[in-house]
């Protein structure tokens, strides 16, 4: 979006800093608290402090096709009290569901939609222990319903350190928590959970969960199905869930992130073990990329630095991921493109303003130099049905993590006693 986008990002970044009223805001410069232009209406604001003092603040809205969209996400913590923006927005970018039979295929965002009437009103135990938030379902009439669940959930042991010795142990041990936002969309027989987990040490996890029921009509032969009824008769069709997310960073509110790829190769032997060397490749132009052993990507701010003087960044961490090589669009693991308002969906993009831009491959084709990169993350799950999938189907999940890298100078949740540990111990 060129200079316009830059202006928006700068303004948005400042706004987030200004409006945050967390317990830690007292340490923000007084002047920054004077004016308080809100980034969104109060009912669209999520602003929660987790037990260790970490505060996540963001805006949310529902889109008719994409479902849950999180905007202007910022982070602050006990040891980094000034809120710093992380994301401009994050949302799903497509959900492609082809069946192995070759007989059917769905594009659940662009042909069906996660918002509007398919977005479910929270009920039952959908949001047990959490807060059901009301807002527009993204439909053509703007109907307000309880559609977003906000909760704080335990994430297990956050850290553990025995800094003492056998006789005088000094144990730092802490349970962690995530701030969790989720919504549910019913697409035919499947029900999908869009979930984002914001960890109390800065990690962000984006996940798609699938539940509901298996297709009631897609029963096939043994080579592309799995028998789920009595005997070897009802072969439920295997299928893919090819999910894409659209991630727009705005690190430190200054935008203009640089994309970097890192690769580590075995490079000879040292006196005891193999030598490995790590090299960085700058990705300045649009393109699609595939995972390799030890390969990873990060988006780095060109300006925003942590207390150690290091440029802030977030790293893409992917896990289980089945590639669907039957489509060129679902083959790459990640695609980086320059932000353009017209480029909304990873596939099935349908905007009369830019009729030739139909998928991420079209977006990236001209290898434009990126000044405002969008990261399109693809995570595929090849679903082989099993007896236990009936019924309702236990949730199966697919997704990725965004890990802060040098966003803060030390562990943002470091306990008293460890706050001065920063660098090589003297």
Partner 1 sequence: MTYPKWGWVLGVATVTAVVAFGVASWQASAAPTPGASPTVPAEQATVSNPDPGPAPSAGIGQDALTSTELGKARALAETTALKAGAKDVTGSAGPEYLAADIADADTGRTAELYYYDYQGNRLVKQVVDLRSGKLAGSYAATGMQLPPAEREVRTALDLLLASPLSAELKDAYAKATGQPFTGQELSPTAHIYHALPADSGAPQCGKNRCLRLIVQTTDGHILDLDKIIVDLSGRTVARLN
Nearer to partner 1, 164 or 307 (CB): 164
Closest by Cα among 359, 397, 406 to 379: 397
Nearer to partner 1, 102 or 307 (CB): 102
Least Å distance between CB 1 and partner 1? 7
Q: Which residue has the tokens 């006693």?
A: 417
Least Å distance between CB 173 and partner 1? 6
Nearer to partner 1, 123 or 175 (CB): 175
Nearer to partner 1, 6 or 318 (CB): 6
Nearer to partner 1, 89 or 313 (CB): 89
Q: How far apart are CA 425 and CA 273, in angstroms?
A: 25
Q: Which residue has the tokens 């790829």?
A: 261
Least Å distance between CB 402 and partner 1? 20
Least Å distance between CB 217 and partner 1? 4
Least Å distance between CB 60 and partner 1? 9
Q: Give 399: exposed, middle or buried? Use CB within 10 Å, 0-12, 13-18, 19+.
A: buried
Nearer to partner 1, 48 or 403 (CB): 48
Nearer to partner 1, 38 or 320 (CB): 38
Q: How far apart are CA 378 and CA 370, in angstroms?
A: 20
Least Å distance between CB 269 and partner 1? 42
Least Å distance between CB 382 and partner 1? 21
Nearer to partner 1, 50 or 311 (CB): 50
Nearer to partner 1, 114 or 407 (CB): 114
Least Å distance between CB 39 and partner 1? 5
Q: Which residues contact 374 (CB under 8 A, 6 or more apart)?
A: 246, 247, 248, 336, 337, 338, 339, 343
Q: How far apart are CA 253 and CA 29, in angstroms?
A: 17
Q: How far apart are CA 97 and CA 347, in angstroms?
A: 12
Nearer to partner 1, 67 or 296 (CB): 67
Least Å distance between CB 120 and partner 1? 12
Least Å distance between CB 106 and partner 1? 6
Q: Give the bridge partners for 23, in sequence order.
A: none
Nearer to partner 1, 185 or 306 (CB): 185
Contact 222, 199 (CB under 8 A): no
Least Å distance between CB 351 and partner 1? 7
Could you report how far apart the first and last alpha carbons of the chain are, in Å?
A: 48
CA 130 to chain centre: 20
How big is the chain, counted in residues?
426
């Amino acid at each position: 979006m060129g200079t316009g986008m830059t202006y928006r990002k700068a303004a948005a970044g400042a706004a987030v800093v200004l409006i945050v009223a967390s317990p830690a805001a007292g340490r923000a410069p007084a002047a920054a608290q004077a004016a308080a232009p809100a980034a969104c209406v109060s009912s669209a604001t999520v602003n929660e402090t987790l037990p260790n003092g970490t505060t996540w603040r963001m805006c949310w809205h529902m889109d008719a096709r994409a479902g849950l969209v999180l905007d202007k996400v910022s982070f602050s913590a006990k040891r980094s009290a000034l809120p710093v923006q992380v994301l401009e927005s994050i949302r799903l970018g497509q959900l492609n569901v082809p069946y192995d039979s070759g007989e059917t295929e769905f594009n659940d965002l662009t042909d069906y939609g996660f918002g509007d009437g398919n977005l479910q009103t929270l009920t039952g135990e959908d949001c047990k222990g959490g807060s059901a938030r009301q807002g527009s379902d993204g439909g053509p009439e703007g109907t307000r319903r309880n559609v977003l669940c906000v909760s704080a959930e335990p994430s297990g042991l956050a850290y553990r350190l025995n800094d003492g010795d056998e006789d005088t142990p000094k144990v730092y041990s802490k349970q962690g928590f995530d701030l969790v936002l989720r919504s549910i969309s019913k697409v035919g027989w499947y029900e999908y959970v869009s979930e984002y987990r914001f960890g109390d040490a800065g990690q962000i996890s984006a996940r798609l969960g699938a539940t509901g029921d298996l297709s009631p009509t897609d029963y096939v032969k043994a080579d592309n199905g799995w028998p789920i009824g009595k005997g070897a008769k009802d072969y439920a069709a295997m299928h893919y869930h090819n999910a894409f997310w659209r991630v727009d960073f705005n690190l430190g509110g200054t935008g203009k992130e640089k994309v970097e790829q890192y690769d580590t190769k075995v490079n000879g032997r040292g006196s005891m073990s193999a030598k490995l060397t790590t090299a960085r490749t700058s990705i300045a132009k649009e393109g699609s990329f595939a995972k390799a052993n030890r390969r990873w990507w990060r988006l780095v701010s060109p300006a925003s630095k942590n207390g150690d003087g290091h440029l802030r960044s977030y790293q893409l961490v992917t896990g289980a991921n089945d590639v669907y090589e039957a489509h060129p669009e679902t083959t790459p693991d990640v695609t980086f493109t320059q932000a353009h308002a017209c480029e909304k969906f990873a596939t099935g993009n349908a905007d009369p303003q830019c009729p030739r831009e139909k998928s991420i491959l079209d977006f990236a084709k001209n290898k434009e130099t990126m000044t405002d990169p969008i990261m399109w993350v693809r995570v595929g799950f090849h679903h082989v049905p099993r007896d236990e999938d009936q019924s309702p189907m236990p949730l199966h999940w697919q997704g990725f993590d965004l890990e802060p890298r040098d966003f803060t100078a030390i562990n943002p949740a470091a306990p008293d006693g460890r706050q001065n540990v920063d660098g090589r111990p003297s």
